[in-house]
Amino acid sequence: MNTDELKLTDNAINHIAKLLQMAILTGTDIMDNLRSATLVSYEGKVDIHPDHQEAFENNIQAMLDELGDTSPEEDLVV
């Protein structure tokens, strides 16, 4: 068993916080969100894989764009 001591980077901690926020906002299980994360280790530190972080940020932006496309006036039936 490998017992190297690893620490989370601030970036990884920030990403985990975002995953928790996403789970709360979407009503999804945090475990599913955490399982989706891809991690890398280097020099005793654990960070989010750059490709995963980019895809996650793109998904958030797509959700925000979709929300921005819907205005309250569109929802009104006259």
How confident is the prediction along the chain (78 residues), in pLDDT tens digits per residue? 777 899 999 999 999 999 999 899 889 999 988 999 999 999 999 999 999 999 999 988 998 888 887 665 555 555
> How is residue 42 annotated by DSSP?
E
Q: Is residue 40 part of a domain?
A: yes
Domain count, the chain: 1
Domain that holds residue 61: 7-67
Q: Is residue 74 part of a domain?
A: no
pTM, entire model: 0.75
Q: Report the distance separating Cα 50 and Cα 28, nearest Å.
A: 23
Q: Is residue 60 part of a domain?
A: yes
State how far the alpha carbon of 48 is from the alpha carbons of 56, 67, 78, in Å. Answer: 11, 27, 48
Q: Is residue 75 part of a domain?
A: no
Q: Is residue 72 part of a domain?
A: no
Q: Is residue 73 part of a domain?
A: no
Which is nearest to 48 in space by CA: 33, 35, 38?
38
pLDDT of residue 71: 60
Cite the DSSP H helix spans in the chain.
Answer: 10-26, 30-36, 50-69, 72-75
